[in-house]
Amino acid sequence: MPSILVTGASGGIGRAVAEKFLSEGWTVGLMARRESLLREVADGRTNAVVLPGDVSDAASVEGVFADFLGRAGRVDVLFNNAGIFTPAAPIDEIPVSDWKRALDVNLTGMFLCARAAFGAMRRQDPMGGRIINNGSISAHVPREGSVTYTATKHAVTGLTKTLSLDGRPFDIACGQIDIGNARTELLEGIVQKARDAGEAPPPSMDVTHVAEAVWNMAALPLEANVQFMTIMATKMPYIGRG
């Protein structure tokens, strides 16, 4: 059976994607820091591989990939998903520690996981695979006060383009999915902030639509690639905002 490793699989978009691939019979590597939550996602299924680890730690990432390859035999797809938000503020009010934390997870974490997946895909037999990076609407247009998140997501687009180019000789495809407001626990803070201000909650969509979109990207043969996909709530102020 084909295999996928999902980072940030303990909740939100990562969990929804992992559950979709588990239901389709793939071998699914579940990577996140909290093992107890990963075991909830796995729910005793034999095609789930629980892989506690920290994407921002090079040794941890190497260990996770070695464990997954030892149990699954190969990695066909990486859903490079793990990411964090830091508190919104103008740049002069943002602690340097928040900037560094966002870089560590949102950018260095994606680099480390892509690096490990690329190396495995290049050397496995048959050679090749697919890397799907989780970008964001913020890879194109930011929200106010989001310099840490927005800068890292713009950088992810550069990572995606370079991996697409470097992967060609090795049958490694790389695409990016840019996701708008999906109803997950991460959106709850934005919704609550709007309600506290007496405003309507922002338009959002069911997270299962995101999982289906990732599935459609991953299920393609390696001769085809979705380079960039934007999926969002229809009424989000993306087109024309700014």
- Summarised one tens digit per residue, pLDDT across range 35-89 is 999 999 999 999 999 999 999 999 999 999 999 999 999 999 999 999 998 999 9
Of 80, 82, 152, nearest to 116 by C-alpha is 80
Domains and CATH numbers, the chain: 3-179+206-231 (3.40.50.720)
The percentage of the chain sitting over the pLDDT mark of 90, rounded to a whole number, equals 84
Q: Which of 3-7, 59-63, 197-201, 226-230 has the lowest mean pLDDT?
A: 197-201
Mean pLDDT over residues 185-199, rounded?
80
Active site residues: 149, 153
Angle value at C-alpha 45, between 44 and 46, nearest 5 degrees: 115
Give the residues across from 231 on adjacent strands.
179
- Summarised one tens digit per residue, pLDDT across range 147-191 is 999 999 999 999 999 999 999 999 999 999 999 999 988 777 777
* pLDDT surpassing 60 at residue 242: no
172-179/228-231 β-pairing? parallel
Q: Report the mean per-residue pLDDT for the chain.
A: 95
What is the chain's Cα-based Rg?
17
Distance between CA atoms of residues 242 and 235, nearest Å: 15
> Which residue did the predictor score with more confidence, 190 or 108?
108
DSSP for 106-121, please give it: IIIHHHHHHHHHHHHH
Q: What is the pLDDT of residue 199?
A: 87
Distance between CA atoms of residues 131 and 2, nearest Å: 14
Q: What is the pLDDT of residue 241?
A: 53
DSSP for 26-89, please give it: -EEEEEES-HHHHHHHHTT-TTEEEEE--TT-HHHHHHHHHHHHHHHS--SEEEE---------
Q: What is the pLDDT of residue 189?
A: 74
Mean pLDDT over residues 108-122, rounded?
98
Report the residue count for the chain: 242
pTM, to two decimals: 0.94
* pLDDT surpassing 50 at residue 129: yes
Of 11, 3, 114, 12, nearest to 55 by C-alpha is 114
> How many C-beta neighbours within 10 Å does residue 133 have?
24
Distance between CA atoms of residues 65 and 44, nearest Å: 21
* pLDDT surpassing 50 at residue 7: yes
Buried b or exposed e, range 21-52, using 16+ CB within 10 angstroms: bbeeebbbbbbbbeeebbeebbeeeebbbbbb
Q: Which of 13-22, 78-87, 137-146, 228-237 has the lowest mean pLDDT?
A: 137-146
DSSP for 177-242, please give it: EEE--B-SHHHHHHHHHHHHTT-PPPP-B-HHHHHHHHHHHHTS-TT----EEEE--TTSS-TT--
Which SS3 state, helix, strand or coil, does residue 10 take?
A: coil
Question: CA 233, 38, 212, 156 torsion: positive or negative?
Answer: positive
